[in-house]
A and B are shown apart, each in its own frame.
Chain A
Amino acid sequence: MSSSDEEQEQKKNGNGGGILDFIMNLEDVPSKLSPHLELIKTRVVCSIDAPQHTDTINYSGAYAALGVDNSVRLDSFCQNFKVEVKKLTDDDIEFDMIGIDPSLANAFRRILIAEVPTMAIERVYIANNTSIIQDEVLSHRLGLIPINADPTLFEYPDNAGGENNEKNTIVFKLHVRCEKGQPRITVKSDELKWLPNGSDLIADDTKPNAGSKPKTFTSFSCSQDSLPEFSKKPLGPTNPDIILAKLGPGQEIELEVHAVKGVGKTHAKWSPVATAWYRMLPEVVLTEDVTDELADELVTKCPVNVFDIEDIGKGRKRATVVKPRACTLCRECIRGGKEWEDRVSLRRVKDHFIFTIESTGAIPPEVLFTQAVKILEDKCERVITELS
């Protein structure tokens, strides 16, 4: 060591950095994870028998011995997080969420299924049902019909026995009869007629005093269709063609239903999504050149055409990966012996989620996701206030 180097080292030591810091600052000491650790940290490797390295390494000090800080600070999360919308229709959305931990992605999925409120039919008052479908089965079918109403405009029902008013209840009636001598008819969800003034059924048997209105199952103080938010768009089922029952000649159904606000964890009928799911982005890597006949074999092996052939001149062919996103991880390409396992590496990117939401139609899918994230925020806020 030359004298100037010695001086430098002493200076470093003198500055309180310590010998360890000096070593860490040397150029040939890695400050990043070595590639094989990086692979374990960021990819699930799908080998022939089982996936490997499936866990996420969250602990901030996991790589402390290597001098690598594993904590994710908020600003680095904000820098790296990306969303790319792939498909958006009235009912479904598919988007990529990049740079997020599975615990958060899963929280959003769970909230979408169980905690975003919607309106659903909760009470069914059957005045007459002579059809072959039993009252309770019919009621259950009615409950599952998605109602096209914005739940944010309604309040949760008061379970303490409070009244049903225009702010927490939507009333529909259904009255269908199949006349004798007529062909059978199919009762569909469009037969549900909105009653903006509340229930038509009289609640108690006592004769009302002359002049006063008889008491019904609801007490609306005003008609719902006089409210500006409903006057433009009448309330009803999202789909007009859901089959509820079939009536033979002489059979009749007359009933009234009350829809209220609720969440999916109480009953699945309140779930705003048909499904909400995610999958990790597949990554298919050819670890060695696959050429000629082998290339052809590889292309035919894959049922979803992940691979394609590329011409490399002199009449030779080489396999390339063209559609890794389509990979279903069937592992057909690594079947057929150790050679194939070595040639193809199937992986999943741990922090890249292909998220799909299918709405039942009451709330647009992009709004659903925003609401789900908002609900998680509210949970945090609640816990913070509880702890303070």
Chain B
Amino acid sequence: MEHGSYSDQSKSTFSLTDEDHTFANSVRFTLNQDPRVTFCGYSIPHPSENRVNVRVQTTGDPACEVLKDSCQDLMLMCQHVRSTFGKAVNEFKAIKNVDDMDMN
């Protein structure tokens, strides 16, 4: 859910349900890296409510688009982490197999 104004779309608060620090803090990081963002932060209004508010202010672009781009960035980063990790594990296993064979 987005709380903003129609006249100025560059500032908005996004209320995300069923999310917590895990997602909000990661997306805060990617938002901060975006040069279009002048301010971003998140808060959890109440600990027993499954909800987090993400505030985004930009230099002019619609906040919604910037947040979407940041999510996209985060997703691509995750994909890269996953493929790099997979490669590293496979390499490690291959080396270990060779070592095991040497021992036998």
A: residues with CB less than 8 A from B are 58-61, 69, 71-74, 77-78, 81-85, 88, 93, 95, 97, 100-101, 103-104, 106-107, 110-111, 114-115, 366, 369-370, 373-374, 376-377, 379-381, 383-384, 386-388
Interchain pairs with CB closer than 8 A, number:
119
Residues of A within 8 A of B82 (CB): 370, 373-374, 377
For residue B36, give the distance in angstroms from its CB to the closest CB of chain A: 9
- The tally of residues in B whose CB lies under 8 Å from a CB in A reads 42
Residues A95 and B88 in contact in the complex (CB < 8 Å), given A107-B25, A381-B75:
yes
> Are B22 and A77 in contact (CB-based, < 8 A)?
no
Residues A110 and B21 in contact in the complex (CB < 8 Å), given A74-B76, A373-B81:
yes
For residue B46, give the distance in angstroms from its CB to the closest CB of chain A: 17
> Are B33 and A380 in contact (CB-based, < 8 A)?
no
For residue A388, give the distance in angstroms from its CB to the closest CB of chain B: 7
> Are A379 and B19 in contact (CB-based, < 8 A)?
yes
The listed residue (A58, A78, A110, A388) touching B68 by CB distance below 8 A is A388
B44 at the binding interface (Cβ < 8 Å): no
Residues of A within 8 A of B35 (CB): 60-61, 69, 71
> Are B78 and A373 in contact (CB-based, < 8 A)?
yes
Q: Which residue of B lies closest to A104 (CB)?
A: B26
Residues of A within 8 A of B27 (CB): 380, 383
> Are A387 and B29 in contact (CB-based, < 8 A)?
no
Residues of A within 8 A of B96 (CB): 88
Q: Which residue of A lies closest to B93 (CB)?
A: A88
For residue A144, give the distance in angstroms from its CB to the closest CB of chain B: 24
Residues A103 and B26 in contact in the complex (CB < 8 Å), given A373-B81, A384-B68:
yes
Query: Within the assembled complex, what's the spacing in Å between the Cα atoms of A258 and B50?
Result: 28
Q: Which residue of B lies closest to A88 (CB)?
A: B92
